[in-house]
Amino acid sequence: MARALSLGMVLFATWMLLSGEFSLHHGLVLGLGIASVILVVLIAVRMDVVDHEGHPIHLTRRFVGYWFWLLLEIVKASLDVTKRIWSPSLPISPTMYILKASQPGELGQVIYANSITLTPGTVTVRLDGGDILVHAIARGVGDDLASGEMDRRVTRLEASGITVAESAK
């Protein structure tokens, strides 16, 4: 029930931001927005997609800190890629790496793989049973991933809300 309520609040906040309707003077528009959010939440509950992976509210506490760290990594990687493009002396040597994801659940592995892809200069090609195939723009970029800092941070993020019973699945 808490996940469905949280999903409804997120959907309604998103609807309000996208519609630009913040006034109660437009009662019909506001009513239609509320009705559409309720309908979507009911459909999501009926489809049984409001679970710990479909709507991971258990990650909310630590997710904000992780996003700030990831944003800093994205900026640093963007600067590195820009330097490589503008400076012919810096190597661009496309390389493929296989990384091991240490996260116990699929959600953590997907967050890790998506974080790699969000970082400029790297793309997750395949995620298969904890093995992540990564394409990097240069050898040094992949070495940064091999250090495991991102993997450790995602593991801590996922561990913040997972129970022993969920990790055994």
Tens of pLDDT, residues 109-138: 998 999 999 999 999 999 998 899 999 998
Query: In Å, how far from its chain's centre is CA 137?
Result: 22
More confident residue, 122 or 142: 122
Write down the pLDDT at residue 56. Answer: 62
pLDDT at 91 over 90: no
pLDDT at 95 over 60: yes
Write down the pLDDT at residue 10. Answer: 85
pLDDT at 35 over 90: yes
Q: Quick one: pLDDT band at residue 164, thresholds 50, 70, 90?
A: very low
Q: Average pLDDT in the 94-99 region?
A: 90
Highest mean pLDDT among 60-64, 129-133, 139-143: 129-133
CA 12, CA 119: separation in Å to the nearest integer?
30
